[in-house]
Structure 1
Amino acid sequence: MAVNRMSAEPQPGSADRNAWTLPATEEVATGVYRIPLPMPGDNLKAVNVYALEQPDGLTLIDGGWARAEARAALEIGVQTIGAQLTSIKRILVTHAHRDHYTLAVILRREFGMPIALGAGERASIEALTSTNANASFGSQMQLLRGAGAEKLARIVESQAVYVNPKTDGWEVPDEWLDGGTIEAGGSELKVVPTPGHTRGHLVFADLGRGLLFSGDHVLPHITPSIGLETVASPSPLTSFLASLALVRTLPDLRLLPAHGPVAASSHTRVDELVTHHDRRLAEIGEAVSTLGEHPALPIARQLGWTRHRRHFDELDVFNQMLAVGETIAHLDVLIRSGLVRERAEGELTLYSAVSS
């Protein structure tokens, strides 16, 4: 799963809000094409892969999920612009989630094109390619137990999917990226590390054409999940907010997200995300003050989830796990701001308000 669908962010009101997921190649700028690839069984429905034309073939930004349906859609998509899968010369991946990375690995096995990934993803890739059995997002179990959600942790463990690197499409990339610039599609891409969604997330800014390939860092209609990855990040929301501030210093660019339609203004969406998290921090701070000293689970149960403000008990197991993780991420920011304190009691972490 790539993003948190529980946010209170603005949503399109029309019946065709999922039109962007339909199998149609869209030229979003001269020589730049959006190709949505299906994600069977996932509520996100699709992930956008971007193909950049250049004299010797194509550069892809993101690779998609290693599913037969996605590979077939990508093949049709590149054929629509007069190319073949053999035309792909390189794949730049925004982060190491399955819907962005694993099809790139499958294509590399078949055709040999190199893959580049953010250097911050090393720890997760090492875990995912290990000979030891690793559960996807296994770091979440420890968070759940520290939050007082032992029952939920046991359920998550019982449903955990264990990674098989050979069949699931996990391998080390050819190149680790950590900033700088890359020539691609007849233009220069600025590589911007944006940790938060994952510790090694990247965005690619095409300043010449006024485009931001934002991966899952900035999405037009939903709020990215924070720190949902194989190896946990320290205070991922702190990193995410700093990354939003960094992207806000770039020129206002057209937003080319991994999930959702192209949007006109990166600045507008960044501002909306910052406002959302400011409100959520205030809400969680109030819940801590009201409850007194408690672990994260009771705090999460005080909050409304999704734009419909659903109770925690109305969420499925996966989204309950996300809700607890999001609550902890916000509590970490409040601790760093001096508004909340934490205290360990056995395996639990207890939170309380700091008196003014």
Structure 2
Amino acid sequence: MNRWEDIVEVPLPLPFALKEIKAYLFMGGNGVTIVDTGLNIEQDFTVWESVMKELGITWKDVEKIVLTHYHPDHYGLAGRIQQLAGGIPVYISQVDFQQAQLFWDRDSKMAQDLASAFRRHGLDESVVKQIPKHLASFIPWIEPHPTPTFLRAGSKIQLGDRTYKVIHTPGHADGHLSFYDPEREWLIGGDFLLPRITPNISMWPNCDKNPLQSYLKTLEKMASLPVKRVFSSHGPIFENYQERIEQIRHHHESRLKHMQDFVETAGRVSATEVCDHIFGKDLSIHNIRFALSETLAHLEYLRNNQQIEVESAGKRYFYVPFRQ
């Protein structure tokens, strides 16, 4: 268990490709604050109880939970911990709480909408049929949903004994929030900026229609912020903030050019064909979902910038070179 002054790093295991999420515990005179929670699985809950025992605290010492965004590995245990801690506030952006319901409510039509979208973009029907069951498998990992208190960008929030600025950092999630301590120049970044991998930027039904544009604007906005240390959710805490922003910008520029060149060379391709070209075909259903959604985010960025076009043929969509 690593600690930086008042911040305790809490690594939590994940039963999918990322393997681990870093949650953070902020120690304060009036109690502790949890930022992100892990999944509602016994492995993660056991880690939390072990950490609390080591620190000499209980659930009753937790004064609030703050969530960077709605994805299950960040959101999953929030409702359970809220109940154990006596109904403490759970802070999240309104957009991301709505998207948690959009994705993970048992009555949601997201699985059907996503399956339909993937079918239109050329995904094989044998894989499309796996989407509803795959999405439903996450629901037990996030229930019960917490009762939220909505947090606005531009406001301030206490984490432990220090005041942080709330910054909207969309792209990875539409309502993603990061938290900035201007005195120490420390950033609690969630999945906005990661040290070793690029954050997944995906286009989902009924969400941001140009998430890559949103993310690139976030990088541009955040580049001017003086940051000495980033507490991210996956990978080690890091200090090469500006360098990492430039690396990720370059990654997306390169990926966009690669996709545009592929469309122009092929002449007419589905998003699935582009995805196969970039990511390969030997992917799990979990990774197919993210790979194809990220491919769509890049293709739609190119389309919105009039670098490629989309055309329909029956119920299928294809990307073609831009016609002057």
Q: Normalising by the residue count of structure 1, what TM-score does the alignment of the two structures yield?
A: 0.83
Are 1:350 and 2:318 matched, yes or no?
yes
1:42 is aligned, of 12, 16, 21, to 16
Give the match's secondary structure for 2:10: strand
- Structure 1 contact 140–321 (Cα < 8 Å) conserved: no
Instruction: Measure the CA separation in 1 of the matches of 2:247 and 2:296.
Output: 21
1:331 is aligned, of 282, 299, 307, to 299
Instruction: Measure the CA separation in 2 of the matches of 1:118 and 1:139.
Output: 24
Instruction: Measure the CA separation in 2 of the matches of 1:118 and 1:128.
Output: 15
Are 1:141 and 2:109 matched, yes or no?
no
Are 1:161 and 2:129 matched, yes or no?
no
Q: Percent identity?
A: 25
Q: CA deviation at 1:138?
A: 5.6
Instruction: Measure the CA separation in 2 of the matches of 1:191 and 1:216.
Output: 15
Aligned to 1:13: none
- Structure 2 contact 70–97 (Cα < 8 Å) conserved: no
Aligned to 1:295: 270
1:205 is aligned, of 180, 201, 221, to 180
Aligned to 2:39: 65
Write out per-residue CA displacement over residues 322-353 of structure 1, whole angstroms, 9 at most, x where no aligned residue.
22211111011111222111223333222111
Gaps of 5+ in 1: 1-24, 306-311
2:189 is aligned, of 214, 230, 238, to 214
Q: Which amino acid aligns with 2:128?
A: A
Gaps of 5+ in 2: none
Instruction: Measure the CA separation in 2 of the matches of 1:141 and 1:91.
Output: 33
Aligned to 2:82: 108
- Structure 2 contact 72–138 (Cα < 8 Å) conserved: no
2:209 is aligned, of 223, 231, 234, to 234
Instruction: Measure the CA separation in 1 of the matches of 2:75 and 2:289.
Output: 23
Instruction: Give the alignment of 1:1-356 within 5 angstroms.
Output: 25-28=1-4, 30-39=5-14, 41-111=15-85, 112-127=87-102, 130=105, 132=107, 139-151=113-125, 152-161=127-136, 164=139, 168-227=143-202, 231-303=206-278, 305=279, 312-355=280-323
Q: CA deviation at 1:211?
A: 1.1
Change (3 A) 1:67 1:285: same
Give the match's secondary structure for 1:351: strand
Give the match's secondary structure for 2:76: helix
Change (3 A) 1:229 1:162: farther
Q: Which amino acid aligns with 1:108?
A: Q
Q: CA deviation at 1:160?
A: 4.0
- Structure 2 contact 38–75 (Cα < 8 Å) conserved: yes
Q: Which amino acid aligns with 2:96?
A: E
Change (3 A) 1:177 1:79: farther
Change (3 A) 1:212 1:229: farther
Higher relative contact order (CA 8 A, sep 6+): 1
Change (3 A) 1:82 1:194: same
Q: Normalising by the residue count of structure 2, what TM-score does the alignment of the two structures yield?
A: 0.91
